Chain A
């Protein structure tokens, strides 16, 4: 037998380490083919040694499999729908204002901005068409936690507050801190959205979803771009992870809550787009 058929056989074999008889006989006679076979096997062995980055997603997946979100609540009777809507809107706004407002207010007014003079704040896109509170410039005595309001005005106030916060976060004293702060804001908002999606209908979520999109698109991405090249990988990698997780969570929840699916998918899309842009940024740098 010549060498070529033997080598072709080895390339074609399910297990090239155990050739069938005529080829085995050739290998015993031919040192060059034996050596060639060893090289082929070396490739197989060493492919298994190639590195794979560690993954952190498995525990989260298992957690979600073992503890799926609560099933959707039945819709209230039609006759009471206006009241439910009003209550849901109020509850959503209240929950978010308390949780986001306290956190953001504390962060912004006490830690980042302080009581000193702030910039002229302009709301760039007031979704509800309402003016920002107090014409944009908050007084020094303004409370970080706004009064609990209900209905559409509360949502508008929430939007205005969040966008104000987004702008004010830019006053953190380094690009890295600004990126991290605004990423925290996005994560916090996304978590609130996920929780609220489990108990509220789509309508109260829509405006908040737009805010989330805005925070990611106009907050997280530009601030991450501003991080110096040497720090980017370290700063951006965990933010990308969080956005990826947010995307997955929203997609999963959308499958489980068809009534809120369009809003949840828009949240997933916002997180996914942010993640993609940050990845591209890292990729360009590489």
Chain B
């Protein structure tokens, strides 16, 4: 029996002008795309703008998407292009770090950092060069493979791997000594 991936089904329907299907894809990917763009821009209004525009561009060009491609990779590629164009246009990108941190999560477990360490982590991630931060977050937070990251950022897989390596290395240099172990 042929099992159809529900996401592929949604994309296929959206490609045939089913707006409801595309809306479900937006539901599915909004938070990921917005979160990633927020981490790149540190400006939630700008991140919202870029995310909205990315989805609209995706809708407009959905016909060019081939289902053998990775959809998140394709979507993040559109978002990355938007982000890069926005930087080129000279709009100000903030480089602060979040002022407020979430309350401690009860299920955070042993690997949870202290609040102070989270502040340090936020600061350290925010200070990574954006060329390292973008792939690092795609790998760590969005769980994209190196191949998908390469497609999203239009770089080679080796470059994607190298940039994630450098990001991890820098974070370990900054944070490694401050992380408390159980």
Contact = CB atoms under 8 A, between A and B. Distances in A.
Interface of A: 8, 11-12, 14, 35-36, 38-53, 55-58, 61-62, 65-66, 68, 240-241, 244, 247-248, 252, 275-276, 279-280, 283, 286
B45 A39 contact: no
A248 B22 CA distance: 19
A55 B30 contact: yes
At the interface, is chain A mostly helix, strand, loop or mixed?
helix
Contacts of B91: 276
Interface residues of B, number: 60
A157 B161 CA distance: 64
Given A52-B34, A279-B45, 8 more contacts: A11-B168, A42-B179, A45-B112, A52-B44, A57-B51, A62-B27, A248-B49, A275-B45
A240 B45 contact: yes
A283 B181 contact: no
A279 B96 CA distance: 13
B118 A43 contact: no
A41 B34 CA distance: 24
B98 A51 contact: yes
B105 interface: yes
Among A48, A62, A68, A275, the one with the most B-chain Cβ atoms within 10 Å of its Cβ is: A62
Interface stretch (B1-9, B52-60, B67-75): B52-60
B127 interface: no
A35 B30 contact: no
B49 A244 contact: yes
Interface string B137-171: 10111000110000000000000010011001101
B19 interface: yes
Contacts of A252: 56
Given A38-B181, A48-B140, A55 B44 contact: yes
Contact of A61 (B44, B52, B125, B176): B52
B5 to A, nearest CB: 22
B111 A39 contact: no
Contacts of B140: 43-44, 47-48
B169 A49 contact: no
B48 A55 contact: yes
B145 A49 contact: no
A63 B39 CA distance: 26
Contacts of A35: 181
B64 interface: no
A39 to B, nearest CB: 5
A55 B34 contact: yes
A36 B141 CA distance: 20
B108 A49 contact: yes
Q: Which of A38, A44, A55, A244 has the most CB of B within 10 A?
A: A55
B137 A58 contact: no
Contacts of B130: none
Given A38-B181, A55-B34, A240-B45, A49 B112 contact: yes
User: What 4 A-B pairs are tightest by C-beta distance, nearest first?
Assistant: A57-B48, A53-B44, A45-B111, A58-B30
A11 B165 contact: yes
A65 B20 CA distance: 8
B169 A50 contact: no
A52 B45 contact: no
25 contacts: A12-B161, A12-B164, A14-B161, A39-B172, A39-B179, A40-B168, A40-B172, A40-B176, A43-B171, A48-B140, A49-B118, A50-B118, A50-B121, A52-B34, A52-B39, A53-B44, A55-B47, A55-B48, A58-B27, A58-B34, A61-B56, A65-B19, A244-B48, A275-B45, A280-B92
B181 A46 contact: no
Nearest to B35: A52
